[in-house]
Amino acid sequence: MRSVERVGVIGSGLMGTGIAEACARAGLDVRVVTTTTGSTRTARQRLTDLVDRQVRKGQLTEDQRERVVDSVTYTCDLDGMADRDLVVEAIVERESAKVELFAKLDKSVTRDDAILATNTSSIPIVRLACATERPGRVVGVHFFNPVSAMPLVELVGSLLTDADVLDQTERFVTDTLGKQAIRCRDRAGFVVNALLIPYLLSAIRMLESGYATAQEIDRAMTLGCAHPMGPLSLADLIGLDTTAAIASALYDEFKEPLYSPPPLLLRMVEARLLGRKSGMGFHDYRRAGVPMPA
Ligand code: NAI
């Protein structure tokens, strides 16, 4: 069975950049697909900024930095995926966009024996698999943010995923990338988000109903439960659009009120207050640490 040496990453936001960096750091040849020509420059800059931060923190040497930067190429053309052993999709958490992408990847772009992986947080893998004519080769590989710091990857096979594809993907994740994998069933949210999202939504409901300020809620959980970060800071880190999309997918699947996104979250997304990535969410990242009014 062919080992994974050439990886394609589609999407160059928070997760696509992190996944590309992790693959390049593992010595793989990485190609990133972005949506437009202009965005290839932004994507390159994002990855450079990420590795520069790692050098400043002493997590990467200058030599390693050069190797990582040189191992990643960028294109806005999906045909750039033609010679890839494994392609990981990390575009926006919208089912229609992902289904369309998987259909394209399947029809004309990728090799027949390529593994088609998705980093979706909440969309059932089988829906993406069924957009292709090779559902056996479609698999969920759910990384965590920031990818370089978080050891876990959730590996999700759908009812149609071939057992050897799942095994090969697990070897890629553990032996090549040095991550730890858990396998889970194809249910919206898998394990981590099915547990985490209700907690984050409860914190947002608390803020919404005036229990405490954003800063107090976050301090309560960092100081009282020794969490490294409070729930509202964590939602800001994930991205409030992504948090709302995951909550909606969980609610669609289980119809449990605890998964239903609260109005405050929806209004913030509509206002493009998306958390760290937009500079403002429950906290203000333009002037670090200043909480938003409820
Ligand atoms: P992001 O908003 O930072 O990046 C999304 C990227 O997708 C952007 O580069 C955007 O230009 C691109 N994009 C948007 N629509 C597109 C389309 N129709 N076709 C191609 N590209 C398109 O989002 P993030 O956080 O990187 O999330 C990406 C995926 O990773 C989502 O499926 C999300 O659920 C998942 N994920 C997110 C985590 C997080 O903590 N943010 C953690 C684990 C998984």
Give CA–CA dist 145/69, Å, rounded.
20
Annotated active-site positions, please?
Answer: 121, 142, 154, 193
Residue minimizing CA distance to atom 34 of ligand 1: 121
pTM for the whole thing?
Answer: 0.92
**Two structure tokens written together for 260:** 């239903």
Residue minimizing CA distance to atom 42 of ligand 1: 144
Q: Residue length, the chain?
A: 294
> Average pLDDT of 247-256?
95
Residue minimizing CA distance to atom 4 of ligand 1: 13
Ligand 1 nearest-atom number relative to CA 34: 21
DSSP three-state, residue 45: helix
Give CA–CA dist 234/232, Å, rounded.
5
Ligand 1 — pocket residues by CB below 6 A?
11-16, 35, 90-93, 97, 119-121, 142-145, 238-239, 242, 277
Bigger pLDDT: 19 vs 108: 19
Q: What is the model's pLDDT at position 293?
A: 40
SS3 letters for 46-113?
HHHHHHHHHHHCCCCCHHHHHHHHHHEEEECCHHHHCCCCEEEECCCCCHHHHHHHHHHHHHHHCCCC
- Mutation to probe ligand 1, out of 17, 122, 242, 274 (largest number of atoms < 8 A from CB): 242
Task: Please give the radius of gyration of the chain, using alpha carbons only, rounded to the nearest integer.
Answer: 19
Ligand 1 nearest-atom number relative to CA 17: 26
pLDDT tens for 186-238 read 999 999 999 999 999 999 999 999 999 999 999 999 999 999 999 999 999 99
Q: How far is the CA of 16 from the centre of ligand 1 (A)?
A: 7
Bigger pLDDT: 244 vs 40: 244
**Two structure tokens written together for 175:** 């032996």
Q: How far is the CA of 113 from the centre of ligand 1 (A)?
A: 25
Q: Which domains does the chain have, with CATH numbers?
A: 6-184 (3.40.50.720), 192-291 (1.10.1040.10)
Is ipTM beyond 0.95?
A: yes
DSSP three-state, residue 18: helix
Q: What is the model's pLDDT at position 66?
A: 95
Question: Tokens 């999700």 appear where?
Answer: 156
pLDDT tens for 27-68 read 999 999 998 767 899 999 999 999 999 999 999 999 999 999
**Helix (H) or strand (E) run with residue 172 in it:** none
Q: How far is the CA of 224 from the centre of ligand 1 (A)?
A: 32
Q: How far is the CA of 182 from the centre of ligand 1 (A)?
A: 22
**Two structure tokens written together for 278:** 């937009």
Ligand 1 nearest-atom number relative to CA 122: 34
